[in-house]
Structure 1
Amino acid sequence: LLRVGFHESAGSQNRRSMVSPDTETLLRMAREGLQGNDTQGALIKLDQLLSINPDHTNALRLKGRILMMENRHEDALQPLGQLAELEPENADAWFSIAVCHKHLRNHQEAIRAGERVASSQPGRVANLINLADSYRVVGNSDQARYYTDRALKIEPENPSAKRLDEMLRK
């Protein structure tokens, strides 16, 4: 017997797509989970997506953001680092990496990532404050003062910058 018009690969492809959603569907489901405060469900969907496409930048970005929201800074470094490798000029990725390292008390790494942000976004006050504080912690008061002054010049009433300014005056 001969079947005319039957393609085994097309049938198996259709069955496969019915069983596992595509990457954009998984990303949408992860975002919906996040909106519904189901961070674990969102992370599961993102992990499924990343198993299909490990370099999906939106999934890496969202996974890093969720892990940071959950104060899982060490875990967040993996997707954020991968995102920064894929998009080396992504200042948001580098800023998030700096914040994670600061929370983990890896101040030299926080400084390294923060300096990358400062070179492309010199007016990003949150980064200036993080840099100033990390420089303060490692004992480099000149750099701490420099970044604190830059932050205060942009936002003179910023409470974090004012607090750092007071600490550096003592």
Structure 2
Amino acid sequence: MRFQYFYSVLVTNSALALLSTLAAAKAPEQIFEQVSPSVVIVDIFDSKDEFIGQGSGVVIGVGQVITNCHVAKRGKSRQVRQSGKTFSATMQYSDPSRDLCQLNVPDLRAPPVVMGTAKKLKVGQRVYAIGAPEDLELTLSEGLISSLRPHDGAEYIQTSAAISLGSSGGGLFDDQGQLIGITTFYNAEGQNLNFALPVDWIGELPKRAQGAPMVAKKSGLVWLNRVVALEYKQDWQGMLKLSQQWVKSEPISADAWFSLGIAHKNLKQYEQAIKAYRSALRIQPEYADAWNNLGNIHNNIKQHEQAIQAYREALRIDPKYADAWNNLGIAYGKLKQYEQAIAAYREAVLIEPEKASSWYNLGEAYSRQGQQDKVLEIYQTLHKLDLQIAKAYSNAFILPSTK
């Protein structure tokens, strides 16, 4: 039943959804006014009660502050500052492997933030980081989500929003002022990188903190930060070597094998990439991103039937995975199965109506079928989304038909 709607209704509803989303975004000053009362400064003291540094924290409940463990565990004791007042704080929960710690601050009366989720984030989405750089009060920096990397069952966030020393443990917020991550300043491979731990991990913190003590070893996050830094530099040989070390250190880490697959793929070592993704999936069969990436490899080497199977697995796990729907459409298009390609692309644009590339692919599939009326309708949508892509689309699928 999903594919029986008239296409004009699809275009209209998608355009309205896009416009309503844009209209609802709050201005930066509104975001800061809304959430800054819930972001605090965390002061750290040594065994002699001497100040040794500061970080940031976010109020998530009455008297409850979340921050990074590398902030909270840096010294012997800690205090929280908010609105010129200082409050004693004690450790409540600790999960060093995820770098998340929760402080108990019984006298703090700051309002808690509104919790969002990292599960629906998209690359390119506007975000705001709020924290207290060293020797400064709260500051706001604006940026975009530059990368989303699956890790430990959630999306690890890389952002262009500036995060300085002292801002670690602060909040990353969406354009509604909802908390989507806990910011972390990190220096890896000679680069200052801005990360945020997914807000979804906060709810898991009490249960994980009550688990058995973890063996002291390099955290998966430490490996991941270094790997992402090399990926950012497009140093594929360096990423390959480091991912191999990660796999050797943590052979049952699906994320380590996933990173190895990315490195092999970018070095055009496709058979090794397939083996790496298959290893990740043996460890974590419900790893939608690994299925999607595996499908991309099969598409690259013209194994389109295998690609379709992989994309279908990704979509079984996550039916709202727009990229997997788009990639599925590409695979069907390579097999000249345009009806199935159109159905897949339509799912992609229903989920992400603002993504011009999926609309372009849908229009191309209609063009292959000779449905020029649909081609023209899609041009109107593309003209609103991206003028450059709309022009390329017109040159490819509209102007040739008028000659």
Kindly state the Cα deviation for residue 82 of structure 1 after the two structures are TM-superposed. 0.8
Secondary structure, counterpart of 1:54 in structure 2:
coil
Could you tell me the TM-score, scaled by structure 1's length?
0.76
Residue type at the aligned position of 2:286: D
Residue type at the aligned position of 1:40: E
Residue type at the aligned position of 1:97: L
Q: Aligned in 2, Cα 1:35/1:133: closer, same or farther, shift over 3 Å?
A: closer
Q: In the alignment, is residue 51 of structure 1 matched against residue 274 of structure 2? A: no
Which residue number in structure 2 is paired with residue 87 of structure 1?
318
By percentage of residues, which structure has more strand?
Answer: 2
Q: Residues of 2 paired with 1:136 and 1:37: CA distance?
A: 32
Which residue number in structure 2 is paired with residue 109 of structure 1?
340
Which of residues 151, 160, 170 in structure 1 aligns to 2:382?
151
Kindly state the Cα deviation for residue 94 of structure 1 after the two structures are TM-superposed. 0.6
Q: In the alignment, is residue 165 of structure 1 matched against residue 398 of structure 2? A: yes
How many residues matched? Answer: 152
User: Aligned Cα RMSD in Å?
Assistant: 2.3
Which of residues 226, 249, 269 in structure 2 aligns to 1:38?
269
Q: Residues of 2 paired with 1:165 and 1:155: CA distance?
A: 16
By percentage of residues, which structure has more helix?
Answer: 1
Q: Residues of 2 paired with 1:58 and 1:39: CA distance?
A: 17
Kindly state the Cα deviation for residue 157 of structure 1 after the two structures are TM-superposed. 3.6
Q: Residues of 1 paired with 2:368 and 2:356: CA distance?
A: 18
Kindly state the Cα deviation for residue 37 of structure 1 after the two structures are TM-superposed. 3.1
Could you tell me the TM-score, scaled by structure 2's length?
0.35
Kindly state the Cα deviation for residue 133 of structure 1 after the two structures are TM-superposed. 1.9
Q: Residues of 1 paired with 2:301 and 2:373: CA distance?
A: 34
Structure 2 unaligned blocks of 5 or more = 1-247
Q: Aligned in 2, Cα 1:126/1:168: closer, same or farther, shift over 3 Å?
A: farther
Q: In the alignment, is residue 134 of structure 1 matched against residue 365 of structure 2? A: yes
Kindly state the Cα deviation for residue 43 of structure 1 after the two structures are TM-superposed. 0.7
- 1:19-75 Cα deviation digits (max 9, x unpaired): x92133322332332343322111112223323433222321221222233333322
Q: Residues of 2 paired with 1:163 and 1:50: CA distance?
A: 39
Secondary structure, counterpart of 1:75 in structure 2:
helix
Whether the 8 Å CA contact 1:80–1:93 is kept in 2: the answer is yes
Whether the 8 Å CA contact 2:261–2:276 is kept in 1: the answer is yes
Whether the 8 Å CA contact 1:111–1:131 is kept in 2: the answer is yes
From the CA coordinates, give the structure whose radius of gyration is larger.
2
Residue type at the aligned position of 1:166: L
Kindly state the Cα deviation for residue 97 of structure 1 after the two structures are TM-superposed. 0.7
Kindly state the Cα deviation for residue 124 of structure 1 after the two structures are TM-superposed. 1.9
Q: Residues of 1 paired with 2:395 and 2:380: CA distance?
A: 10
Kindly state the Cα deviation for residue 165 of structure 1 after the two structures are TM-superposed. 1.7
